[in-house]
Amino acid sequence: MNPLKRITLGLVAILGLVVDSRASISITIASPNTTSGLIYQSDGTSLNTTGFARVGKITGTIDFSKSAVNWANYQYWNNIFSDVNGSVGQGSTPSTWNFNSSGALSGSATGVSASAFSNGTLLYLWAFNYGSVTAGTYAAGGSFPVFTESDFTSGLVTQWAILQADEWTAPADNLSKSLVINQITPTDTRQIIAGTDVGTGVAMVPEPSTGALMMIGAAGLVALRRLRKV
């Protein structure tokens, strides 16, 4: 076969493969049971059903110093975070990423673009203590950010957790992936970017003022104990 014909036929073949570009993946998140893989409030109490989660990839270098909960840091993370469904319409079926009353997280996103989340892309969970997403209200193609500055200044969004596990990678085209909360390595600060391991799950980090008050309180208790000893 002459080379020109081969090239022409090759182009025909490439065009014939357009179908493959429709490939999608599916992402599911799992808290295996009611006693492990849970997301807690910063004080260790159950998150219950009020909470919100985003699952996606992070583009660019992560600045680990921006883990504190505030509007500026939210904007930083929001700018580098691409949800598996939502902002660029990746998910044909929106996820419900819901918390149950124990703080167990569940949900699936199907029809996620395999080209936007190529095989091996690290996936992250960004969980909040505010917002309650139910099926149908979080439409594919919906806009982000889902929170506004007033959500922070008015004290609604006061805690979050940003998590990742080595196993949390996007699958190959036309396959599924389950992100299991228990797969997070508690001692790995690269995986618990914001949050605290509490054995049966991860507690969110509080907003700095709350955290500072808690530290002051703890310091006061220590001082009081010392005074009493004297």
Partner 1 sequence: MKNKSIKFLGFCLLLSSASLVVGQTVSTPVVGFSKESLPSGQHFFAPSFIKPAVYSGTATISGSSVTGLTLSGSLGLTSFSDRPNFPTHYLEITSGSYAGTYYDISSNTSNSASLAQTPNTSGSVTVVIRPHVTLGDVIKADSGIGEYSDSISVYDNSGNFASYYFAGGMVTGDDFATPMGHVPVPPGKGIGINLGGNIQITNSGQVRNTALNVPVYPGAVNVVGMLNPSGATKLTSLTLGQQLDAYSESATLYDSSGSLALVAIAYSDGQDPTDDTFTPYNSTTSPSVQTKGTMLVNVGSAKYITVPPATN
Residues at the site binding partner 1, with contacts judged by CB under 8 A: 1, 6, 9-10, 12-13, 15-17, 19-20, 22-24, 26, 28, 30, 32, 106, 108, 110-111, 119, 167, 171-172, 174-178, 180, 182-183
Least distance CB 108 / partner 1 (angstroms):
4
Least distance CB 174 / partner 1 (angstroms):
5
CB proximity list for 187: less than 8 A, separation 6 or greater: 197
Alpha-carbon dihedral sign for residues 79, 131, 125, 170: negative
User: Closer to partner 1 at the Cβ: 171 or 206?
Assistant: 171
Least distance CB 146 / partner 1 (angstroms):
23
User: Closer to partner 1 at the Cβ: 69 or 104?
Assistant: 104
Least distance CB 80 / partner 1 (angstroms):
26
Size (the chain), residues: 230
Q: How far is CA 146 from CA 2, 41, 68, 133, 208, in A?
A: 57, 20, 18, 11, 21
Q: Which two tokens stand for residue 104?
A: 């167990």
* Interatomic CA distance for residues 20 and 161, integer angstroms: 36
Least distance CB 7 / partner 1 (angstroms):
10
Least distance CB 65 / partner 1 (angstroms):
32
Strands 24-30 and 176-180, sheet pairing:
parallel
CB proximity list for 179: less than 8 A, separation 6 or greater: 27, 28, 29, 30, 55, 123, 125, 165, 167, 168
User: Closer to partner 1 at the Cβ: 18 or 230?
Assistant: 18
User: Closer to partner 1 at the Cβ: 153 or 174?
Assistant: 174
User: Closer to partner 1 at the Cβ: 17 or 227?
Assistant: 17
Rounded to 5 degrees, φ, ψ at 60 are 100, -175
User: Closer to partner 1 at the Cβ: 24 or 67?
Assistant: 24
Phi-psi region of 204 (alpha: psi -120 to 50; beta: other; left: phi over 0): beta
Peptide bond between residue 208 and the one before it cis (omega within 30 degrees of 0): no
Least distance CB 210 / partner 1 (angstroms):
33
CB 156 within 8 Å of CB 130: yes
User: Closer to partner 1 at the Cβ: 59 or 119?
Assistant: 119
